[in-house]
Chains A and B, each alone.
Chain A
Amino acid sequence: MSETFTKSMARNIFYGGSVFFFLLLLALTFDTESALPELDNRENLTEEVALGKRVWEKNNCVGCHTLLGEGAYFAPELGNVYQRFGNSTDAIKGFIMSRPKDGIPGRRSMPQFNLSDEELEGIAQFLKYTSGINTQNWPPNIQG
């Protein structure tokens, strides 16, 4: 780089640029927070859903599945599983409940988590809630 462009000029670009774009990120973050109520389906965020989210976390479901496209890529997307299972929380509960303890020979298998009735209802409601989030029409189709 040329002699007229000095180290202290470069340093000032670093400090100035970083501070400016950090503040811009903050501003966009505030704006996002104020736009979220229209998008994040919070009117359906019940106690049950909150409990379901805890069940999701405590069993590390994201270690195999994606949720809204984030997580692991070993097992199907669950952001729209409620629709894929015919808009039925019972179908979701039935699936989770019926996983064989020793898996399915030769296949990728989901563990049997032995969830209580309350936990099962919670996780199903959580996935139903998630399917109501405005994701700008993602995923492209029902297969997730």
Chain B
Amino acid sequence: MTYQSQSVAKPYFIVAIALFVGQILFGTILGLQYVIGDFLFPEIPFNVARMVHTNLLIVWLLFGFMGAAYYLIPEESETELFSPFLAILMFWIFAVAGVLTILGYLLVPYATLAELTMDDLFPTMGREFLEQPTITKIGIVIVALSFLFNIGMTMLKGRKTAVSLVLMIGLTGLAVFFLFAFYVPENLVKDKFYWWFVVHLWVEGVWELIMGAILAFVLIKTTGVDREVIEKWLYVIIAMSLITGLIGTGHHFYWIGTPEYWQWWGSIFSAMEPIPFFMMTIFAFNMVNRRRRNHPNQAAVLWALGTAVMAFLGAGVWGFLHTLAPVNYFTHGTQITAAHGHMAFYGAYVMIVLTMISYSMPMLNGRKEANSNKSQIVEMWSFWIMTVSMVFITLFLTGAGILQTYMQRYTDTPISFMEVQDKVAIFYWLREGAGIFFLIGLIVYVASFFIGGDEPEATVKDAA
């Protein structure tokens, strides 16, 4: 660690991992409710468990992004963080608000939570992923603005690099597009239309900039390849992200009451959205192959290569699978969507945050460059268990989705939703099994932080 203030990243990363564990515990509850319908009913209905699962995901990824920025920006800017105090203060505000919100979901019925938080004054609750009470949303905006101010001031007083600039643009975009969460018109079509300005323009827009910047940073550090080369790649990749992804939003405007022409705009542009993800894969492997040094933190390099591959599979391949309007007509809102959502979120955003944690945690824990060999081996095991489990979760959901699409939507004698769900139950059992393996992988991941701590650092010779 070059700058003392980078250490504020550590609590962000620790809370991120803790919430990740919570997310997956609730994922296994959801998976069980899919096959044992009344599991935990009526104490924790499916919708409540789902809110906890998806909101924990988003919140821990935000913790991860912020931690990543607090580590990365001082190092890139070659100066101490503008205000470490503000960063820690915001950490506590965000952590407390997050925990209270999750407790609110679990302890009272959702309608009661809406009453308690006076949602009627400024209604924003009850939309997928944006279920947080309005007061929590306001808290998120305050935390985001203080955060942007803090890293923005740090950048202003120091060196400006493409990596830090791209990260800053991505994070600013994240905050700006979140403002659409406050726009909930009475008109359902408009409501749905602008909802995607948060969700799509996040994951297929500005978050790709965040991912690209973090990936570029870790590759510069671990491969020693010339910054000029890496930054040129970064610009081309994120250019492709926005050129395809902005109009690509249209792939959500096929069947929600919006004009028919979106079937053309959406299909054509979103069909090109895999390009930036493919380039990230080429980029990561190319840089590692051209490395000027062997970095002793081989686990971080594995995560960096893994995220590039899995993001391409989940977002690129599984996204393309159902993005053309004539296909989406049949697959829209089925288990195919869930399959894609899981692998894309895991491959791109879970794994990029874990890449950054893997790279920086050794230094945050007072190591010079890397953890001990023993710890890295455990971490790499967790990489493989979680990643392979996610591949199987995706495959099983895809199987369920294909059958569902056929039986409920495609054949001449369609049968009802609930009947179809019964018929494909075997796939949900298999998915739950893969989910348990994922949880085991996550436990191994957490364990890697407590193993081999008293052993010496891995050296380049071990790594080569």
Q: Interface on A for B, CB 8 Å cutoff? A: 1, 5-7, 10-11, 13-14, 17-18, 21-22, 24-25, 28, 31-32, 35-36, 39-42, 45, 49-50, 53-54, 56-64, 66-77, 101-109, 111-113, 129-130, 133-136, 138-144
Contact = CB atoms under 8 A, between A and B. Distances in A.
6 tightest Cβ-Cβ pairs between the two chains A and B: A63-B47, A57-B126, A69-B333, A108-B37, A138-B255, A10-B235
State which size class the interface on B falls in: 35 or more
B236 interface: yes
A130 to B, nearest CB: 6
Contacts of A61: 47, 126
Residue of B51, B232, B410 most packed against chain A (CB within 10 A): B232
19 contacts: A10-B236, A11-B162, A11-B235, A36-B189, A49-B186, A57-B125, A59-B111, A60-B110, A60-B126, A61-B126, A63-B110, A64-B50, A69-B255, A69-B256, A73-B338, A75-B417, A77-B417, A136-B260, A144-B408
Given A11-B235, A57-B127, A105 B38 contact: yes
A143 B255 contact: no
Contacts, number: 226
A129 B125 CA distance: 21
What is the predominant secondary structure among interface residues of chain B facing chain A? helix
Nearest to A28: B265
B36 A135 contact: no
Nearest to B41: A103
B284 to A, nearest CB: 15
B325 to A, nearest CB: 9
Given A14-B238, A60-B126, A106-B37, 4 more contacts: A1-B232, A1-B233, A68-B188, A111-B41
A28 B260 CA distance: 12
Contacts of B192: 68, 70
Interface of B: 33-34, 36-38, 41-42, 45-48, 50-51, 110-111, 114, 119, 123, 125-128, 131, 162, 184, 186-193, 228-229, 231-233, 235-236, 238-239, 242-243, 246-247, 249-250, 252-260, 262-263, 265, 329-330, 332-335, 337-338, 408-410, 414-418, 421
